[in-house]
Amino acid sequence: MLYWLLRYVIVGPVVKLVFRPEVSGAHLVPVRGPVIIAANHLSFLDSVFLPVAMRRRMTFPAKVEYFRMRGPLGVAARLFFRGTGQIPIDRSSGRAAMAALDMGTEILRGGGVFGIYPEGTRSPDGRLHRGKTGVGRLALMSGAPVVPVALMNLDEIQPRGRFLPRIGRVRIRFGEPLDFSRYAHLARDRHVVRAVTDEIMYEIMQLSGREYVDVYAQRVKSTDVLSEAA
């Protein structure tokens, strides 16, 4: 109930009025059955605009720190994230991350929509970075089609380091569903999982027009921190 209240009464109307989202290809998302939504990650607001662009309810992981914030802001954040169907993911532990993927598999097996940012974290420089293989493993384990999505200009709406967004028209582009069911029996083959992940990232690259770099975004962030410290 809270999800639909936020989607259609509180957040959705404000987003549409202020940011006038330009959404293309949303009709490509299957109207029923399990679906994985795989998008690039440019800003915190991705998790606000993407559900608004969807016609179906979606669930996606959010870093656990958002659920541990204190004070009035923390209460509001927890209410928002839980109300929009997000689940906490602890990125400090591979085992905890797998637990989130297990939850995603259960959602998909129930015929739901699960969203994921394959890069694992926001892009530090606007480029598209190497995808983590969780999305490939999820696709093979669940048999669900993957719909690639390009969040086109969220880094312009909310540049890195800026808390309040700029007013501008948000652009989101959905691609054709990708079917990997023919590889379902190879879900434990790391080479196949890597290849599936790379194909998903290629489609996101094609949709977004962003430069692709075969380096994990988190590694780029760590390098930047070390460079600043030096």
Q: What is the pLDDT of residue 5?
A: 77
Q: What is the pLDDT of residue 68?
A: 80
User: Any idea what DSSP says for residue 9?
Assistant: I
At 158 the three-state DSSP class reads coil
Q: What is the pLDDT of residue 115?
A: 94
When pLDDT is cut at 50, 70 and 90, the band that residue 91 belongs to is low
When pLDDT is cut at 50, 70 and 90, the band that residue 98 belongs to is confident
Q: From start to end of the chain, where are the E strands?
A: 22-24, 35-39, 58-59, 61-63, 87-89, 113-116, 128-129, 146-151, 171-174, 212-213
- Domain regions of the chain by residue span: 23-53+93-229
Q: What is the pLDDT of residue 133?
A: 94
Torsional sign, CA 161, 128, 60, 83: positive
- Share the mean pLDDT of the chain: 88
Q: What is the pLDDT of residue 3?
A: 74
pLDDT in tens, 4-59: 777 778 788 888 999 999 999 999 999 999 999 999 999 988 988 998 898 899 99
* Residues 77-85, mean pLDDT to the nearest whole number: 73
* Residues 170-189, mean pLDDT to the nearest whole number: 96
User: Any idea what DSSP says for residue 131?
Assistant: P
Q: Which two tokens stand for residue 103?
A: 């939850």
123 burial level (CB within 10 Å; 0-12, 13-18, 19+):
buried
Do residues 58 and 37 lie in contact, with contact meaning Cβ atoms separated by under 8 Å?
Answer: yes
SS3 content of the chain, % helix, strand, coil (to 5): 50, 15, 35
* Residues 51-76, mean pLDDT to the nearest whole number: 82
Looking at the chain, the number of H-run helices and the number of E-run strands are 9, 10
- Of 117, 97, 122, which Cα lies nearest the Cα of 44? 122
Do residues 31 and 4 lie in contact, with contact meaning Cβ atoms separated by under 8 Å?
Answer: no
pTM beyond cutoff 0.85: yes
* Residues 113-122, mean pLDDT to the nearest whole number: 93
Distances (CA, A) of 103 to 82, 140, 155, 167, 207: 15, 15, 29, 35, 28
Q: Give the CATH fold of the 23-53+93-229 domain.
A: Glycerol-3-phosphate (1)-acyltransferase (3.40.1130)
